Structure 1
Amino acid sequence: MAVQPGDPAPDFTLQDTHGTPVHLADVLADGPVLVVFYPFAFSGICTGELCELRDNIEEFETAGVRLLAVSTDPVFTLKAWQQQEGFGFDLLSDFWPHGDVARAYGVLDEQNGHALRGTFLIDADGVVRWAVVNPRGQRRDLEAYRAALAEI
């Protein structure tokens, strides 16, 4: 079962596309965080979703929310994808131990070894304020993000 609003967000440390560790607790010290799990870099729906976030990043920045996008892809794959698409937010690798963070959030597809489309808005105190997990093949809705941001 996925982490729910009101639950404490599981803490984690994952590498970004430069191999630099990103620790959730450290990021939360600067304010709320939106953690966006997605199945695979370079895949159609994931590319469309993250490009939509890239194109609307100023809405998150204006709300004081930092975006962390997480998949089970290796760092090198994420780096190539970030360079190709020009993502200005962190792509984090949950590659090894494989899917541990996605599992902690309840969004690891154990059978296929990738994250589901789970999204978690975490306040500066480390509490999940909004969460949604979309079924396989269903994109997330930008309007839902906007509604969640309005609640912070």
Structure 2
Amino acid sequence: MTLKTGDTVEDFSLQNTEGKPVALSELIGEDRVVLLFFPLAFSGVCTEELCSTRDNMKMFNSLNANVAAISADSFFTLREYKKVNNLNFELLSDFNKEVSAQFNSLYEEYFGMKGVPKRSAFVINSNMQIEHMEILEDSDRIPDFQEIINVLSGS
């Protein structure tokens, strides 16, 4: 099923960097969540994207938005990645690629690897509806964070 803005998504639960399950509904709380799917921990563009997100967390917090980043890396790998880059938001392991598939964010093949998440960004509101989505085919591109900010601020 192809997702579009306005669609309601199903709740899901993935392991965080401590191996504990975190549900989408917990991340949203009473506000919104920005979900960032990324191909691979420790790769250049992914690190650039997530470190930029880290550096802008005060802005996301001021707009009442939580942030979580999702990859198919194990939670052990994500734990080290979070530590090395001092990331200040949840990293979630979609090791079985079920959530990435639910969000239509999987490459069939990525540098010879199957089932790698596409770089994608979603804003999900407290009703579990998609307010914004961007699924990039080119993993060298970074989501349009200005557009995400516009959506969060109601601009």
TM-score (structure 2 length as normaliser): 0.91
Cα distance in 1 for residues equivalent to 2:87 and 2:36: 14
Structure 1 residue aligned with 2:52: 52
Q: Percent identity?
A: 33
Structure 2 residue aligned with 1:119: 121
- Secondary structure, counterpart of 1:139 in structure 2: coil
- Secondary structure, counterpart of 1:51 in structure 2: helix
- Compared with structure 1, are the counterparts of its residues 84 and 56 closer, same or farther at alpha carbon in structure 2 (3 Å cutoff)? same
Moved more, 105-114 or 1-10: 1-10
The list of structure 1 runs, each at least 4 consecutive aligned residues, that deviate by more than 3 angstroms after superposition, is: none
Q: 1:108 aligns with which of 91, 106, 117?
A: 106
- Secondary structure, counterpart of 2:53 in structure 1: helix
Deviation at 1:2, TM superposition (A): 4.8
Structure 2 residue aligned with 1:20: 20
- Secondary structure, counterpart of 1:68 in structure 2: strand
Deviation at 1:114, TM superposition (A): 0.8
Aligned residues of 1:10 and 1:105 also touching (Cα < 8 A): no
User: Which ranges in structure 1 are unaligned for 5 or more consecutive residues?
Assistant: none
Q: 1:142 aligns with which of 115, 136, 145?
A: 145
TM-score (structure 1 length as normaliser): 0.92
- Secondary structure, counterpart of 2:39 in structure 1: coil
Structure 2 residue aligned with 1:10: 10
User: Which ranges in structure 2 are unaligned for 5 or more consecutive residues?
Assistant: none
**RMSD between aligned alpha carbons?**
1.5
